[in-house]
Amino acid sequence: MTTVGVPAGWPATEEEARAVQDRLRGRVVLDEPGPPPGTGRVTGVDVAYDDDRDLVAAAAVVLDAATLEVVAETTAVGRISFPYVPGLLAFREIPTVRAALDALPCPPGLVVCDGYGLAHPRRFGLASHLGVLTGLPTIGVAKNPFTFTYNDPGPGRGSAAPLLSGTEDVGRALRTRDGVKPVFVSVGHRVSLDNALAHTLALTPAYRLPETTRRADALCRRALQEATAGAAQEASMRQAPTS
């Protein structure tokens, strides 16, 4: 497990964070197809928080894209680097997510974020932000549509409907299981929307959420439990009377 500090110069206010989004948004690449689904490696990233202890844990889990078997996994724990502000969640997550990715013993391939890319009020969600900073192909697969609207896709697996901000198409509501509510897919960086949908379907052979997300979620929760237990033990030892 890697321990992470808040990076020097990291935005401290909403104004500073939005200025960073404005500066980096123009670097998003939307005209590359990305790696073919079912080939190479694909990596899920996710985070878990303990706000009371000011801790965030991130996990990166690399899967073989053809078999969905785990190739490598890493975790990182650090201090929460930004307050909770809708639309600026990337600033809470990126330092620890990057540390987890940097600790991997192999290239991550496509990175799947539990969140948004282009489907973001400022068109620069976590998947886009992480992709620009790392240069990696990224997509976002979210559990809910955030502030966007959509018509319910057909009931069968693979059915999709546009995810809309007014009349602007920012992603897809994608049915990954027959009769189960959809997930919400958007491009992040260096991947086309068609490929993002195909990757999401390839990663959901048995459940609504991608295997990348499911495994990264479980791993970051375990890492947070270990970190909070360690923090509690240290606090107890500091408070214990000395003889």
Query: Under DSSP, is residue 200 helix (H, G, I), strand (E, B) or coil?
Result: helix
- Give the pLDDT score at 232: 57
Report pLDDT digits (tens) over 124-151.
999 999 999 999 999 999 999 999 999 9
DSSP string, 71-90: EEEEEEEEE--S---TT-TH
Domains of the chain, with CATH numbers?
22-228 (3.30.2170.10)
Higher pLDDT among residues 51 and 74, named by residue: 74
Report pLDDT digits (tens) over 79-126.
999 999 999 999 999 999 999 999 999 999 999 999 999 999 999 999
Per the annotation, binding residues for Mg(2+) are: 46, 114
In single-letter form, the type of residue at position 21 comes to Q
Would you say residue 197 has pLDDT above 60? yes
- Check if the beta carbon of residue 63 is closer than 8 Å to that of residue 42: yes
Tokens of 59: 């996990």
Distance from C-alpha of 94 to C-alpha of 134, rounded to nearest angstrom = 11
- Give the pLDDT score at 236: 56
Mean pLDDT of 197-204: 98
Mean pLDDT of 14-27: 97
Q: What is the pTM of this model?
A: 0.93
- Give the pLDDT score at 2: 82
Per the annotation, binding residues are: 46, 114
Residue 239: band (very low, low, confident or very high) from pLDDT cuts 50, 70, 90: low
Distance from C-alpha of 22 to C-alpha of 17, rounded to nearest angstrom = 9
What is the residue-averaged pLDDT of the chain?
94
Q: C-alpha 208: how far from its chain's center?
A: 16
Mean pLDDT of 188-210: 98
